[in-house]
Structures are given as C-alpha cells and as structure tokens.
C-alpha cells in the first residue's frame, strides 16, 4: 500500500509538471507570435534592422520549445541516447544563435549610431548576415556529438559529471563572458554618443534613442528567458 501511494504521488507530480510545461510552452508561442505580429503590422516598426529582433525571437521560441518538449518527453517515458543527443544539439544551436544574434544587433546599432555615414544596410545583406550567424551556430554546436560519445547517461535535466570540463569552460566563455564584454563595450559607446554628447536634440536623435531602448528591452528579455 505504501509503495502504491508513493507511485500514485509520483504520477500525480508528473501530471502537474506536464500540465505546467504545456502551459509554459503555449505562453512562449503566444508571446513570441504577438511580438512578431507587432513588428510586421505596425509600419513604423518595419525596418531592416528589426530583422535581427525577429531572428532573436525565433531563437528564443525554438529554444523554449525544444527545452519544454524534451522535458515533457523525459518525464513521460524518457529518451534514448540518439534522441537525447539530437535534442541537445538543436538546443545548443538555438542558444548559440540567440547569443550571436544579440551581438549582431549590438554591432548593427553601433554602426548605425556611431558611424552613420558608413551604415547602408540592405534587406539582402542583413539576411546574409543572419544566415551566417545561423551557420556559425550549427558549426559551433557540433561538439555536442563529440562530447556525448563519452557520457554514461543521457538526461536533459541532469548534466553528466564525466562530460568534457574544458568544453564546458570554453562554452561558458563563448556563451557568456565574451558576448557580455562585447555588448557592454558597444552599448556604452552607443549611450555615450546619444546621451552624453552636447548635440542639438533632433527628431533623428529621439528616434535613435527609442530604437536603442527597444533593442535593450528585447536583449534583456532574451537574457532573462
């Protein structure tokens, strides 16, 4: 009887977690769809530079869906090693692409505001840059296959202690330290240009300030998620 009650409690917990994850997944889809719809429906927001924002939302959506769906599968039956490694690879791609896109947004805003005379983006060139960031994410994430050759277990929620320590340190530097340094330097230069210089406050400057604020909000939202 005691074993049955424990088993029932475990099944009840799994059901609650499953419902929570499904609601969370639905919230991710709705919020990202609403933000993308806002960018496309409002004419004043239809800008070439906002393609980076759309790419960032897509990476966040993909990352959230992969993580929640993999947790659902893990809770309700588990995953074999092949599926587990494949999901980790897709999750690594989404995470890396989002981080690279954040840097792409910062570089784009930096060029636009600090060097406006050299900033002449086109729709095609921006698409090529985003595609290049995605390809770089695919290549960077290939180490997931090499790393998982040596693991003794495959669980989305638990990291194997035998995984490559050097790769984890390298990933931490590439995923967090270097992007943070680059973003701080670029946005400091942008803020210095827009808010700390003694220039006449024109309509163009006001618009650039609004764009930078929107970019910072989107970047902060991505980091928090």
Q: Where are the domains of the chain?
A: 2-224
> Mean pLDDT of residues grouped by 10 in the chain (225 residues)?
44 68 70 64 64 81 76 64 76 88 88 84 89 92 70 52 66 83 86 71 68 68 60
Contact partners, residue 164, CB within 8 Å, separation at least 6: 147, 150
Query: pTM to 2 decimals?
Result: 0.73
Return left, alpha or beta for 121; rule: phi > 0 is left, psi -120 to 50 is alpha, else beta: beta
Which class does domain 2-224 fall in? Answer: mainly alpha
**Rg for the chain, CA atoms, rounded:** 21
Facing residues of 158 across strands?
155
DSSP state of 151: -
What would the DSSP string read from start to end of 8-52?
A: HHHHHHHHHHHHHHHHHHHHHHHHHHHHHHHHHH-GGG--TTHHH
């Amino acid at each position: 009887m005691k074993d049955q009650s424990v088993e029932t409690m475990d099944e009840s917990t799994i059901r609650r977690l499953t419902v929570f994850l499904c609601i969370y997944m639905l919230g991710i889809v709705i919020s990202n769809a609403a933000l993308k719809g806002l960018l496309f429906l409002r004419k004043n927001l239809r800008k070439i530079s906002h393609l980076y924002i759309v790419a960032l939302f897509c990476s966040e959506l993909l990352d959230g869906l992969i993580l929640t769906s993999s947790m659902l599968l893990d809770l309700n039956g588990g995953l074999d090693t092949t599926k587990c490694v494949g999901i980790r690879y897709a999750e690594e791609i989404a995470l890396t692409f989002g981080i690279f896109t954040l840097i792409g947004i910062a570089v784009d805003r930096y060029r636009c505001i600090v060097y406006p005379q050299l900033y002449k983006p086109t729709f095609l060139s921006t698409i090529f840059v985003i595609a290049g960031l995605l390809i770089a994410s695919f290549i960077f994430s290939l180490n997931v296959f090499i790393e998982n050759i040596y693991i003794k277990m495959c669980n989305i929620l638990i990291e194997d202690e035998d995984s490559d320590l050097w790769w984890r340190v390298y990933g931490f530097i590439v995923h967090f330290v270097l992007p943070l340094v680059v973003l701080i330097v670029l946005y400091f230069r942008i803020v210095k240009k827009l808010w700390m210089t003694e220039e006449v406050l024109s309509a163009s400057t006001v618009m650039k300030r609004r764009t930078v604020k929107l970019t910072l909000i989107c970047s902060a939202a991505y980091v928090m998620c």
